[in-house]
């Protein structure tokens, strides 16, 4: 039987990871790496100093933590939804898995990927444009993987919200929050919208508050 404790811990880990991402993006990278706007993430000279730095590596750790938490949360909720006979139960799990892959790939990019960029530059310094080429390739890959993770988690939130509303687990206000958060994430497939961070965090905290009394996890509770 799915454990309430497992669900709450995975949601809490995700919430903490998103707090870390928010702190990193809105303060640490702005203050210490000079990345003060979205456009700065396309400036090769600034990315050269940022990639492989301590904040960059911490971001990678946060993405790994998020990946495992998403995986556990999505599989757990998928099992609960399946027990309710919800038609989208499998979709909950699959969207979570794809999102987890995106977050994990981003974590890998921030770790070993950054080291590969450095090695390519050091060992091919005679190649014209090697710095720009490696950083551009790295940035494109990371942006795509990050978008995949965020978009799929947004779709996951909407699917969970529909289930939670249909079976009476979520209040109308949490349902509205879930739809707003989910749509803000899906929009990342088309335009950079950092507001998703705040909406995801609000939903996760709200979910943590209501999940114990929602009745979605049947006794015995572990």
pLDDT digits (tens, 9 = 90+) for 27-51: 888 888 888 887 888 888 888 888 8
Q: Indicate whether 222 belongs to any domain.
A: no
Q: Indicate whether 217 belongs to any domain.
A: no
Q: How far apart are CA 89 and CA 40, in angstroms?
A: 40
Q: Indicate whether 220 belongs to any domain.
A: no
Distances (CA, A) of 61 to 24, 36, 81, 140: 12, 22, 30, 20
Q: How far apart are CA 56 and CA 119, in angstroms?
A: 17
**pLDDT of amino acid 220:** 41
Structural domain including 175 reads 4-210
Counted domains in the chain: 1
DSSP state of 51: T
**pLDDT of amino acid 52:** 84
Q: How confident is the model at residue 214 (pLDDT cuts 50, 70, 90)?
A: low
Q: Indicate whether 89 belongs to any domain.
A: yes
Q: Indicate whether 128 belongs to any domain.
A: yes
Whether 5 contacts 198, CB under 8 Å: no
**pLDDT, tens digit, 9 for 90 and up, residues 158-194:** 999 999 999 999 999 999 999 999 999 999 999 988 8
Q: Indicate whether 215 belongs to any domain.
A: no
Q: Indicate whether 15 belongs to any domain.
A: yes
Q: Indicate whether 218 belongs to any domain.
A: no
Q: Which residues contact 140 (CB under 8 A, 6 or more apart)?
A: none
């Amino acid at each position: 039987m799915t454990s309430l404790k497992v669900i709450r811990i995975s949601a809490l880990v995700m919430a903490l990871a998103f707090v870390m991402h928010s702190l990193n993006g809105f303060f640490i990278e702005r203050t210490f790496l000079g990345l003060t706007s979205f456009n700065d993430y396309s400036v090769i000279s600034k990315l050269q100093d940022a990639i492989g730095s301590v904040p960059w590596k911490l971001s990678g750790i946060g993405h790994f933590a998020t990946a495992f938490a998403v995986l556990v949360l999505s599989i757990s909720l998928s099992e609960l939804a399946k027990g309710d006979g919800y038609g989208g139960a499998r979709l909950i799990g699959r969207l979570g898995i794809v999102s987890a892959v995106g977050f994990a790939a981003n974590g890998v990019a921030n770790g070993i990927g950054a080291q590969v960029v450095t090695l390519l530059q050091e060992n091919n310094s005679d190649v014209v444009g090697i710095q720009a080429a490696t950083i551009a390739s790295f940035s494109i890959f990371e942006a795509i993987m990050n978008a995949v993770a965020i978009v799929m988690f947004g779709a996951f939130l909407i699917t969970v919200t529909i289930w939670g509303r249909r079976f009476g687990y979520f209040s109308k206000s949490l349902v509205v929050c879930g739809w707003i958060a989910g749509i803000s994430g899906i929009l990342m497939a088309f335009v950079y919208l950092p507001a998703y961070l705040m909406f995801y965090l609000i939903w996760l905290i709200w979910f943590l508050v209501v999940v114990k009394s929602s009745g979605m996890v049947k006794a015995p509770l572990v």
